[in-house]
Amino acid sequence: MHHKVVLIPGDGIGPEVAQAAQAVLSATGLEIEWFEHQAGVAALESGSSEVLPAETIEAVKQHGVALKGPCTTPVGEGFSSVNVALRKGLDLYGAVRPVRNLDGLKTRYSDVDVIVVRENTEGLYAGIENVIKKGIVTSIKLVTEEASRRIARFAFEYAVKRQRSKVTVFHKANIMKKSDGLFIKCAREEHQNFSESIEYEEMIIDAACMRLVQDPTIFDVILCENFYGDLISDLVAGFVGGIGVTPGANFGQKCSVFEAVHGSAPDIAGLNVANPLALIMTGVMMLRYLAEQTGDQDCEQAANQIRDAYSACLAAGERTSDLGGDLTTSQFANAVIKRL
Ligand code: NAI
């Protein structure tokens, strides 16, 4: 079967890890036609006047699936986040970040197997910021019943599909009684439709962070609004080897964009030392999604082959420097390809 995928290399380490992931996916022999489009600083550098060109959005809408590298967002000034705009523009409301220990990679924690489900379109990331007057600013946290119900339903459905048993909602509804209050009210009510198969739990996020660090194995699926989900996914990534090994996906009704949790890592960009595994694993998630969507079992088989290949590399000590190894980005990708 022939698959069409949009590739958005992104900024910083994006092009390096995207090239590595693309090479691994292509080496499986699957017929993937890639459509490369730019976003972020890379779009400006390629002559676009927009950080998120309309043609990039259109390409994802047309083909339905994209593999995306990270995009840089300037801190405290400059243009707004391309990532946030892409998720909002394509209504990619459900972010999924699975975090589990990898075969062949020993870390401080073992038996971690957590899925973070993050509402991806509103909350504090709605980008509603105002200068009231000099020295006073507001940042509005937008929570709607529609988006809160939708992400709760998504989390329960995802949990059922992946044979998980519990969903824990992280919140701060003791302080933000109205916004987080609405979020948990919707989750509670939506859970009524899943109460036979999924256990439901709520936890105030500060205590939840302590519990996570004490023993992450007590969690199964974690449901968060946008901002908390962003923080929690990096936190849990640290349990299993860091953001260099944590994949992710953004799901919508009409299209899905697969991107790793990490950013553009300007400190190591262009040095060919970034770990491409997070984006390779993200590619594996994409293949499983393509298998589900199209029924092409070759995608499922290729996903398993890639997983076995990178696990064998890790077990043999073939790693990039963030995991204590000495392979470059491209050497690691080649090592995976050799074991396919
Ligand atoms: P970051 O994730 O880019 O980097 C944090 C640390 O992790 C750095 O020390 C970096 O070298 C390291 N790191 C990240 N990915 C790595 C990899 N694959 N292999 C080895 N080491 C890796 O986060 P930071 O520094 O907070 O953000 C940098 C830029 O990335 C910002 O402009 C930010 O807005 C953007 N960003 C973009 C995201 C996206 O496109 N989805 C997500 C997160 C940040």
User: What is the pLDDT at residue 262?
Assistant: 96
Q: Which amino acid is at 249?
A: A
**What's the CA gap between 19 and 9, in Å, rounded?**
8
Q: Tell me which DSSP letter residue 320 carries.
A: B
User: What is the pLDDT at residue 337?
Assistant: 98
Query: Hey, whose CA ends up nearest to atom 6 of ligand 1?
Result: 265
**What's the CA gap between 206 and 8, in Å, rounded?**
35
pTM of the model: 0.96
With H, G, I as helix, E, B as strand and everything else as coil, classify residue 157. Answer: helix
CA of 338 to the centre of ligand 1 (A): 28
Residue from 264, 310, 329 whose mutation best tests the ligand 1 pocket (most atoms within 8 A of CB): 264
Measured at the alpha carbon of residue 58, what is the angle toward residues 57 and 60, in degrees to the nearest 5?
A: 70
158 is catalytic: no
Q: Which residues line ligand 1 (CB under 6 A)?
A: 13, 17, 70-73, 83, 243-244, 259, 262-268, 274-275, 278, 322
Going along the chain from its start, the domains and CATH numbers come out as 1-98+245-340 (3.40.718.10), 108-239 (3.40.718.10)
Query: Hey, whose CA ends up nearest to atom 37 of ligand 1?
Result: 263
Alpha helix (H) ranges present in the chain? 14-27, 41-45, 54-63, 82-89, 145-161, 179-191, 205-214, 226-237, 277-294, 297-315, 329-339
Query: Hey, whose CA ends up nearest to atom 1 of ligand 1?
Result: 263
CA of 263 to the centre of ligand 1 (A): 3
pLDDT along the chain (340 residues), means of 10: 97 98 97 97 94 96 98 89 90 97 91 97 92 96 98 98 97 98 98 97 98 97 97 96 97 97 97 98 98 96 98 96 97 98
**What's the CA gap between 70 and 80, in Å, rounded?**
14
With H, G, I as helix, E, B as strand and everything else as coil, classify residue 278. Answer: helix
Residues 6 or more apart whose CB falls under 8 angstroms from that of 116 comprise 95, 96, 97, 98, 99, 222, 224, 229, 232, 233, 236
User: What is the pLDDT at residue 127?
Assistant: 86
Query: Hey, whose CA ends up nearest to atom 39 of ligand 1?
Result: 70
Residue from 262, 279, 326 whose mutation best tests the ligand 1 pocket (most atoms within 8 A of CB): 262
* CA distances in angstroms from 77 to 74, 80, 81, listed in the order given: 6, 8, 11
Contacts of 329-333 with C-beta under 8 Å, sequence gap 24+, read: 329/13, 329/16, 329/17, 329/20, 329/272, 329/273, 329/274, 329/275, 329/276, 330/16, 330/19, 330/20, 330/272, 332/20, 332/275, 332/276, 332/277, 333/19, 333/20, 333/21, 333/23, 333/24, 333/276, 333/280
Find the radius of gyration of the CA atoms of the chain: 20
CA of 32 to the centre of ligand 1 (A): 27
206 is catalytic: yes
User: What is the pLDDT at residue 88?
Assistant: 87
Query: Hey, whose CA ends up nearest to atom 40 of ligand 1?
Result: 70
**What's the CA gap between 219 and 207, in Å, rounded?**
13
